[in-house]
Amino acid sequence: MADAEAVNPFDLNKPTTPDSSSSNLVKGIVSANTPGNAETFLDAAPEVDLSLLKEVAPQDSMLLLGLKITLSVVSVLSVFSVIFFSSQLTDRFDFVRTVADFPSVTKDLVASNNEIVDLKTDLNFYKYLKAKAYFDEFSYFGDTYLQSYEILRSQTSEEAAKETARKNMEETKPAIAKAFMAAREQLIPDLEAKISNPKLVEGSSETLLFVNQLKNKFNEKATELSSNNEPEAVRQMKNYSQSAKIVGNGELRTTVLAADFNAMDDKQLYEFIKKINSLIVNDLSVMQKIKDKRIKWSDVMNEIQLRTIAVDKHYDEKLYQEIGGIRYTSYDFDGETSRISITGETKKTGTTNFSLIAELIDELNRSNLFGNASMNSFSKSGSLEEGYTANLKLDLDLKEE
Amino acid sequence: MENYLVQKKRQEMQIKSYLGITLLVVISMGFYTFSNWKEFSAVKKLLVANANYISALKNEVVDEKANYDGEKFNFDALNKEIETKLESIFPLGNQYTELTKQVDVFEEDLSTKNSVFEVSNIDYQEVEKGEFYSILPMRMTIRSSSANFTKFLHWVENSGALSDRVRLMDITSIRLNFQEEENRDEIISFTVQMNAYFQ
């Protein structure tokens, strides 16, 4: 209900401080008209329904409205921005992409990077097939060169054989150089292509990614042919498998790229061919490994002969019966233990048989081919008139070259 | 009366709040959008670069394949030549009959009345299989002149060369005895343990 003392709120602005003159005037009028009992000439003040004021609200602010609209627009744009960039730059919306196909620059980049990897692998595939073929050629002509060099260096080869070997070396050298340079050219470019998406690398280096891709391609090609027994298929399968062994062979690439072929002399070229053969895999390189383990028994026997002549200068003149000296009766060469046993005898007109044997032991130990030459027991028989004969039983080790 | 004032104040507060929130959203989303746009633009540029690179790579692959195919005939010819030579040098099986024939031919070529070379025994042993190659061990007993003995050693030492087509072999041990001289030429009787290799 309205309060009796409540006033119209629009009067609130009027001064409330009582004016003394107006107050007196009102008092006079009231007192003149009310001699006895007080008579009211105005009705009671109307009650104001203040509840109506509750309906009065401040006028809508255009600024606020504008801000609300702006915020709404900005919010919607923000949502669109988040959705757009998330779909383009992340995989958060991949589940939607499975239903509705829509473009994504990240996915496009991954796809184009994959295409680059595949294409570069194809390119590497043909390059390494060619490199393998040139290395085969290198090993093929290198085989003749190696054999010829060994004949030329052998102490026991005949002069005619050495001359042929020298000629073969000169003839094969240009072919070896040509094959080598062609193989080298294939290995110069890097295996990897520049790709921008680290997701493709998956924690490994880019080089390793391309190495594995190429190896897989060769192995897949070989597997495809594994069930085919046709000679051509078997040949191709072997070719793919052996090509895979070149891929990622850092030592081979470094050796090939660092080599100055034209500056090599015969010995350096001989060693270089053997080195390359040890780093690649083909039938010839497998054979080379076997050849490298072989012992040159002819050189071993020749060395024993030369060392014996150094002690007994008539050894190779077959005058043992007449003037004595050293004579061997048996050799026992064991390649697996690298041990050599020699038996024989020495004959001297004097008594110094043991010294002759001791000199022979020292001489053998001076050789680069032998070591640990020894004879533990010395014995001789005979007389000053007929001369003395001593038994010879030497054991020595064959040194690794 | 109070409600009006309250509402008025509330309105002012709302204006301030909306203004603040709007500014905050604009700034943060502006930053977010700007940084992502930069990344998006960079990816777009990479896509263009990749497209050019792919085009160049495709051409390279076509050229390289054509180049390889052009030379493949020569490569295959060399492989076949090597294969043919390997049939006698490094055969697919132990091929002991072919090896026996090779030893026989060598003996025949070498042996003369004045310089003997006689293979009296060949004993083939159990094959040893390896990862990259297999071995056919064999023992031979030979009677030979000194000169022919050296030639025999050379024959084995140089075996496996593509130019000679002699079966790849090596000697693991030799036991030899020198006999009394006959016509001033020393005769050597020896037993040699050898390996003949095959694939």
Encode pLDDT of B111-167 as tens digits. Answer: 887 888 999 999 999 999 887 889 999 999 999 998 899 999 999 998 998 888 899
Q: Is residue A23 part of a domain?
A: no
Tell me whether B63 touches chain A (CB under 8 Å).
no
CB–CB contact B181 A334 (8 Å): no
Q: Give the DSSP H or E segment for A329.
A: strand A325-334
**B177: nearest Cα among A3, A217, A333, A79:** A333
Please give the Cα distance from A253 to A245 (Å, whole number). Answer: 12
Last residue of a domain, one of A293, A311, A336: A293
| φ, ψ of residue B82 in degrees (nearest 5) | -60, -45
- Assess whether pLDDT exceeds 50 at residue A327: yes
Q: How far is CA A197 from CA A46, A87, A217, in A?
A: 85, 17, 22
pLDDT at A21: 47
Give the pLDDT confidence of B85-107 residue by residue, as tens digits.
998 899 988 999 999 999 999 99
Cβ pair B92, B167 in contact under 8 A: no
Q: Count CB atoms within 10 A of the CB of residue B109.
A: 11
Based on the structure, what is the number of domains in chain A?
A: 2
Q: Which residue of B has its CA nearest to A328?
A: B178
Please give the Cα distance from A218 to A242 (Å, whole number). Answer: 9
Tell me whether A286 touches chain B (CB under 8 Å).
yes
Last residue of a domain, one of A230, A259, A293: A293
Three-state secondary structure call for residue B14: helix
Which among B4, B25, B40 is the nearest to A56, CB-wise?
Answer: B4
Q: Is residue A31 part of a domain?
A: no
pLDDT at A1: 39
| φ, ψ of residue A16 in degrees (nearest 5) | -100, -10
| CB-based contacts of A12, cutoff 8 Å, min separation 6 | none
CB–CB contact A57 B181 (8 Å): no
Residues 323-362 of A with CB under 8 A from B: 327-336
Whose tokens are 């310089």? That residue is B115
Note whether A289 and A301 are same-domain residues: no
Give the pLDDT confidence of A220-256 residue by residue, as tens digits.
999 999 888 888 888 889 899 999 999 989 999 999 9
Q: Is residue A96 part of a domain?
A: no
- Assess whether pLDDT exceeds 60 at residue A36: no
Three-state secondary structure call for residue B157: helix
Tell me whether B16 touches chain A (CB under 8 Å).
no
What would you report as the CA-atom Rg of chain B, rounded to the nearest whole angstrom?
43
Please give the Cα distance from B188 to B61 (Å, whole number). Answer: 64
Which chain A positions have a beta carbon within 8 Å of B50's beta carbon?
A: 109, 112-113, 115-116, 196
Tell me whether A80 touches chain B (CB under 8 Å).
no
Confidence of residue A401 (pLDDT cuts 50, 70, 90): low
Highest mean pLDDT of the ranges A1-10, A69-78, B2-11, B106-115? A69-78
Q: Is A80 exposed, middle or buried (0-12, 13-18, 19+ CB in 10 A)?
A: exposed
Tell me whether B179 touches chain A (CB under 8 Å).
no
Note whether A206 and A306 are same-domain residues: no
pLDDT at B179: 74
Please give the share of chain A, as a percent, with pLDDT higher than 70.
86
Note whether A234 and A331 are same-domain residues: no
Q: Is residue A47 part of a domain?
A: no
Note whether A227 and A350 are same-domain residues: no
Tell me whether A57 touches chain B (CB under 8 Å).
yes
Last residue of a domain, one of A260, A293, A326: A293
Three-state secondary structure call for residue A97: helix
Residue of B9, B47, B135 to mutate for A, most A C-beta atoms under 10 A? B47
Cβ pair A398, A339 in contact under 8 A: yes
Note whether A180 and A251 are same-domain residues: yes
CB pairs under 8 A between A and B: 212
CATH number of the domain where residue A359 is located? 3.30.1360.100
CB–CB contact A106 B43 (8 Å): yes
- Chain B nearest-CA distance from A302, in A, is 9
pLDDT at A314: 85
Tell me whether B43 touches chain A (CB under 8 Å).
yes
pLDDT at B2: 62
As a whole number, mean pLDDT of residues A333-360 equals 90
As a whole number, mean pLDDT of residues A290-313 equals 91
- Strand A380-383 versus strand A387-398 pairing type: antiparallel
Confidence of residue A202 (pLDDT cuts 50, 70, 90): low
| A107 against A69, higher pLDDT | A69
Q: Count CB atoms within 10 A of the CB of residue B129.
A: 8
Q: Is residue A175 part of a domain?
A: yes
Note whether A149 and A229 are same-domain residues: yes
Which among B39, B156, B163 is the nearest to A147, CB-wise?
Answer: B163
Note whether A128 and A228 are same-domain residues: yes
Note whether A218 and A240 are same-domain residues: yes
Three-state secondary structure call for residue A230: coil
Please give the Cα distance from B108 to B106 (Å, whole number). Answer: 5
CB–CB contact B67 A290 (8 Å): no
Tell me whether A198 touches chain B (CB under 8 Å).
no
Domain that holds residue A305: 297-398
Which among A119, A147, A286 is the nearest to B158, CB-wise?
Answer: A147
CB–CB contact A123 B161 (8 Å): no
Cβ pair A373, A395 in contact under 8 A: yes
Whole-number mean pLDDT of chain B? 90
- Assess whether pLDDT exceeds 70 at residue A124: yes
Give the pLDDT confidence of B9-19 residue by residue, as tens digits.
888 899 999 99
- Assess whether pLDDT exceeds 70 at residue A32: no
| φ, ψ of residue A29 in degrees (nearest 5) | -60, -45
CA angle A87, A90, A91 (to 5 degrees): 85
Confidence of residue A3 (pLDDT cuts 50, 70, 90): very low
CB–CB contact A57 B7 (8 Å): yes
Note whether A120 and A262 are same-domain residues: yes
Note whether A276 and A328 are same-domain residues: no
Note whether A305 and A280 are same-domain residues: no
Which chain A positions have a beta carbon within 8 Å of B172's beta carbon?
A: 334-336
Q: Record the pTM.
A: 0.76
Tell me whether A68 touches chain B (CB under 8 Å).
yes
Q: Is residue A100 part of a domain?
A: no
**B140: nearest Cα among B95, B104, B186:** B104
Please give the share of chain B, as a percent, with pLDDT higher than 70.
96
Which among A57, A119, A283 is the nearest to B57, CB-wise?
Answer: A119
Which among B7, B68, B89 is the nearest to A130, CB-wise?
Answer: B68
Positive or negative: CA dihedral A203, A204, A205, A206: negative
Please give the Cα distance from B164 to B85 (Å, whole number). Answer: 9
Confidence of residue B48 (pLDDT cuts 50, 70, 90): very high
pLDDT at A20: 47
- Assess whether pLDDT exceeds 90 at residue A168: yes
pLDDT at A41: 67
pLDDT at A53: 61
Note whether A235 and A119 are same-domain residues: yes
- Assess whether pLDDT exceeds 60 at residue A203: no
Cβ pair A168, A145 in contact under 8 A: yes
pLDDT at A140: 93
As a whole number, mean pLDDT of residues A33-54 equals 64
Query: Residue B164 has which token pair?
Result: 């000679």
Tell me whether A143 touches chain B (CB under 8 Å).
yes
Whose tokens are 């490199």? That residue is A131
Please give the Cα distance from B43 to A113 (Å, whole number). Answer: 12
Q: Is residue A259 part of a domain?
A: yes
Please give the Cα distance from A78 to A69 (Å, whole number). Answer: 14
Residue of B162, B179, B184, B185 to mutate for A, most A C-beta atoms under 10 A? B162
Q: What is the ipTM of this complex?
A: 0.79
As a whole number, mean pLDDT of residues A365-374 equals 92
Please give the share of chain A, as a percent, with pLDDT higher than 90.
46
Give the pLDDT confidence of A250-298 residue by residue, as tens digits.
999 999 999 999 899 999 999 999 999 999 988 888 888 899 889 989 9
Please give the Cα distance from A37 to A35 (Å, whole number). Answer: 7
Highest mean pLDDT of the ranges A146-160, A308-322, A335-349, B54-68? B54-68
Alpha helix positions (H), A154-265: 159-187, 198-201, 206-225, 231-246, 250-258
Please give the Cα distance from A142 to A135 (Å, whole number). Answer: 10
Residue of B12, B34, B57 to mutate for A, most A C-beta atoms under 10 A? B57
Whole-number mean pLDDT of chain A? 84
Tell me whether B92 touches chain A (CB under 8 Å).
no
**A274: nearest Cα among A284, A265, A262, A283:** A284
pLDDT at A136: 93
pLDDT at B184: 55
Q: Is residue A59 part of a domain?
A: no
